[in-house]
A and B are shown apart, each in its own frame.
Chain A
Amino acid sequence: MELKKARREFCFMAVLLVLSILFYTVVIPAQIPLRSTWGADIAFTSRTYPSLLAIALMGMSAIGMADAVRKIFVLKRRAAEQPRKESAKEPLAKALVPYAVFGLILLYGVLFAKIGYIWSTLLVPPALLAVMGCRKWTYYLYVYGFAAVVYVLFRFVLQVVLP
């Protein structure tokens, strides 16, 4: 388990290193224009601070990678000395639930903008309850009740014009 975690950490740091290199070499030059009047006589331009941060990110992710490699070596050595244990795997359905929930939240955001608060709230929150395995119908009513309270609070008390 620990070894798997260390490998994942290595991959994460490697991805971060690549992203920070891309950020430094591609994104910053393309997305931060230089003002000639500023860039000519002052060393610190609009690009300097983000560039410094990108360089620091590259450095730290490289250190993170090295640390993950060290951990992998230590754990491999330890694993060779100890008998291998089978780790309990999380059920696939349970592991996928957060991603399904994220999909529904994204859908709620899109529908909120396209068809408005009332219709999107009628559709998505019950789907969220269903995805989490809720079978008690009264809970669906509680959620609608809460949504009604939120509507009244924002629309009439706080004067926010909801779509």
Chain B
Amino acid sequence: MSLEVLQTIFSVRNLLMMNVGVAAGVTIGALPGLNVVFAIAILLPLTFGMESIAGMYLMLGAYCGAVYGGSITAILINTPGTPAACATALDGYPLNRKGRAADALKAALVASGAGGLLSAASLLFFAPVIAKASLNIQAPEYFSLCIFGLCTVIGIAGDKVIKGIIMALLGLTCSTIGIDPVEGTQRLMFGNLNLMAGLKPVSILLGVFALCEILFKSGELYGAGPGSTVGAIKYQKATIKVLDILKHWKEWLFSSIYGIVIGTVPGTGGVIAAMFSYNDAKRRSKHPEEFGQGCIEGVIAPEAANNATTAATLIPLLTFGIPGDASVAVLLGALTMQGITPGLSLFSSEGAWVYSIMLGLFLINVFMLLQGAAFTRIFANFSRIPPVLLPPCIMILCVVGAYSISNVSFDVFIMIGAGLFGFIMKKFEMPIQPFIVGLVLGELMETNLRRSLVMSAGSPAIFFTRPVSVFFLALGLLALAAPLLRAAKERNKAAG
């Protein structure tokens, strides 16, 4: 198997896909306003004609690249390309103001690469162990795990818990469209045979992330003028050596570990990991007063943490088939399109495939380091693309991409409808992530709910009498209650 894995990874096409993915990801990540999910979603249609491994490399490259790419504009123009780079801007931009932009970029690159590599190692080590342990998990535990995944994504929406639950319920409802997975009856199809296989998550993802972005951006761009909002980027040569950056190994190591642990928990992600690591690095520092004034550790800590989440988020996806956040939900959508079902059996039935993906992540991070070292100046200039050019280009790519899912125009209209839905929901400040996770988890949840009820002769008590199931449900409840308790505490504090 090992030879097969190595042959797969080192094939010219796969190496090319990794590099194209990283370059596209860094470029999109460096464009302010376009986030990691967008980077993966927009590349998704390109993977339909590819082998599943090549497609996954393309998207994983984009995933890792976009997380790093966000730091470029955070450092150069104080505008984080992605939300995960917000913490990087706190010290990255002051370093730029001191004339050390290239040093900050180099530190961000090395920290991102190192964080990503450690994260890939954790995936390689932990995923098979978790998969082995999870073989004992049955339908009730699986259902509770899905509930936990949904609750954490809802909990991340902060004090909008009610809205989060509503969006998750809407996502679950949409997942019921099509043929019933147990009885085989038609559900909510309104006589349209195109809906037989249900709503394709891919067209919905393109709509709610990419098309919805156009609708929002168009209002902002109107009357703003056609030119770029960013002036020519001044760039000096880096004076800091890699060894100088590696001297801060404690910040890198601790932040990477935080990133891995946080990334493994469904519903968290790079933003939380970066902020947590930044605060922790400040707390542990001998000179905390330098944080915020342009301190290299303030760049290393959040960058190592946010890139360390990338491979870690794949642990629940590959072992349980549970997407931790929207980015991984897009990856799950791509896998489903390729006929690959992540979960417990994947490690036994598609061992070579899984190991190719896990080992490929090491190479992706190495390519990210190499591309970053060679082309950061070019990537930085992508942030000067006039924003007005993006909506028509994204529209073309979305429509062609949605059509190429199964060569029917019906998917294009589903995508357009999803775009409008996403736009309206965003207007009403409804969080989109729970909707997406609900949509992709829906069938898994229903199937396991029905299996569990068959096992218990219809009694829902089965979910509360099995320890692992109770554990997951309790964790889910905690994830839901935490933001509410925090909000209540803040209200009490404000009231004095």
A interface with B by C-beta (< 8 Å):
8-9, 12, 16, 23, 27-28, 31-35, 38, 43-46, 49-50, 53-54, 56-57, 60-61, 63-64, 67, 93-95, 97-98, 101-102, 104-106, 108-109, 112-113, 117, 121, 124-126, 128-129, 131-136, 139, 142-143, 146-147, 150, 153-154, 157-163
Which partner residue on chain A sits nearest B409 by CB separation? A113
Tell me if B222 and A112 are in contact (CB < 8 A).
Answer: no
- Given the interface pairs A12-B428, A93-B222, A105-B214, the reply to whether A158 lies near B404 with Cβ below 8 Å is yes
Tell me if A31 and B189 are in contact (CB < 8 A).
Answer: yes
- Given the interface pairs A132-B221, A153-B46, the reply to whether A60 lies near B165 with Cβ below 8 Å is yes
Docked complex Cα distance between A121 and B395 (Å)? 10
For window 448-479 of B, CB contacts with A under 8 Å fall at 449-450, 453-454, 458
The 8 Å CB contact of A44, one of B392, B404, B453, is B453
Docked complex Cα distance between A104 and B398 (Å)? 14
Docked complex Cα distance between A94 and B217 (Å)? 11
* Total A-B pairs, Cβ < 8 A: 176
The 8 Å CB contact of A63, one of B162, B187, B392, is B162
Tell me if A98 and B183 are in contact (CB < 8 A).
Answer: no
In this complex, how many residues of chain B approach chain A with their Cβ under 8 Å: the count is 62
Tell me if A50 and B393 are in contact (CB < 8 A).
Answer: no
- Given the interface pairs A31-B190, A128-B395, A132-B218, the reply to whether A139 lies near B412 with Cβ below 8 Å is no
Docked complex Cα distance between A135 and B388 (Å)? 11
The distance from the CB of B293 to the nearest CB of chain A, in whole angstroms, is 35
The distance from the CB of B37 to the nearest CB of chain A, in whole angstroms, is 20
- Among B90-98, B130-138, B362-370, B413-421, the one that faces the other chain is B413-421
Docked complex Cα distance between A147 and B416 (Å)? 19
Interchain Cβ contacts under 8 Å between A and B, 15 examples: A16-B166, A32-B186, A44-B454, A46-B182, A46-B183, A93-B222, A104-B395, A105-B416, A105-B419, A109-B412, A133-B223, A139-B226, A139-B388, A139-B389, A143-B393
The distance from the CB of A132 to the nearest CB of chain B, in whole angstroms, is 5
Tell me if B392 and A61 are in contact (CB < 8 A).
Answer: no
Q: Which residues of B contact A104 (CB under 8 A)?
A: 395
B49 at the interface (CB under 8 A from A): yes
B185 at the interface (CB under 8 A from A): yes
Docked complex Cα distance between A53 and B189 (Å)? 17
The distance from the CB of B158 to the nearest CB of chain A, in whole angstroms, is 14
Tell me if A44 and B450 are in contact (CB < 8 A).
Answer: yes
Tell me if B185 and A112 are in contact (CB < 8 A).
Answer: no
For window 181-205 of B, CB contacts with A under 8 Å fall at 182-183, 185-190
Docked complex Cα distance between A38 and B163 (Å)? 35
Docked complex Cα distance between A50 and B399 (Å)? 30
- Among B170-178, B232-240, B340-348, the one that faces the other chain is B170-178
For window 421-442 of B, CB contacts with A under 8 Å fall at 423, 428
Tell me if B222 and A97 are in contact (CB < 8 A).
Answer: yes
The distance from the CB of A134 to the nearest CB of chain B, in whole angstroms, is 5
B interface with A by C-beta (< 8 Å):
46, 48-50, 162-163, 165-166, 169-170, 172-173, 176, 180, 182-183, 185-190, 211, 214-216, 218-219, 221-226, 386, 388-389, 391-393, 395-397, 399-400, 403-404, 407, 409, 412-413, 416, 419-420, 423, 428, 446, 449-450, 453-454, 458
Q: Which residues of B contact A33 (CB under 8 A)?
A: 185-186
Tell me if A125 and B395 are in contact (CB < 8 A).
Answer: yes
Q: Which residues of B contact A28 (CB under 8 A)?
A: 188
Tell me if A53 and B420 are in contact (CB < 8 A).
Answer: no
- Given the interface pairs A94-B222, A113-B409, the reply to whether A160 lies near B169 with Cβ below 8 Å is no
Tell me if A94 and B223 are in contact (CB < 8 A).
Answer: yes
The distance from the CB of B280 to the nearest CB of chain A, in whole angstroms, is 35
Which partner residue on chain B sits nearest A64 by CB separation? B162
Tell me if B49 and A160 are in contact (CB < 8 A).
Answer: yes
A53-B172, A121-B396 given. 17 additional CB < 8 A pairs? A43-B458, A44-B454, A50-B173, A57-B166, A57-B173, A63-B162, A64-B163, A93-B222, A93-B223, A98-B216, A101-B391, A102-B215, A117-B400, A131-B218, A142-B389, A147-B396, A153-B46
The 8 Å CB contact of A160, one of B189, B215, B403, B454, is B403
Q: Which residues of B contact A8 (CB under 8 A)?
A: 428
Tell me if B169 and A112 are in contact (CB < 8 A).
Answer: no
Docked complex Cα distance between A7 and B255 (Å)? 43
Tell me if A113 and B176 are in contact (CB < 8 A).
Answer: no
The 8 Å CB contact of A112, one of B190, B211, B386, B409, is B409
Tell me if B404 and A109 are in contact (CB < 8 A).
Answer: no
Interface centre among B48, B412, B454 (most CB of A within 10 A): B412
The 8 Å CB contact of A9, one of B392, B428, B446, is B428
The 8 Å CB contact of A146, one of B396, B407, B449, is B396
- Given the interface pairs A97-B219, A98-B218, A101-B215, the reply to whether A32 lies near B187 with Cβ below 8 Å is yes
- Given the interface pairs A46-B187, A101-B214, A125-B395, the reply to whether A154 lies near B400 with Cβ below 8 Å is yes
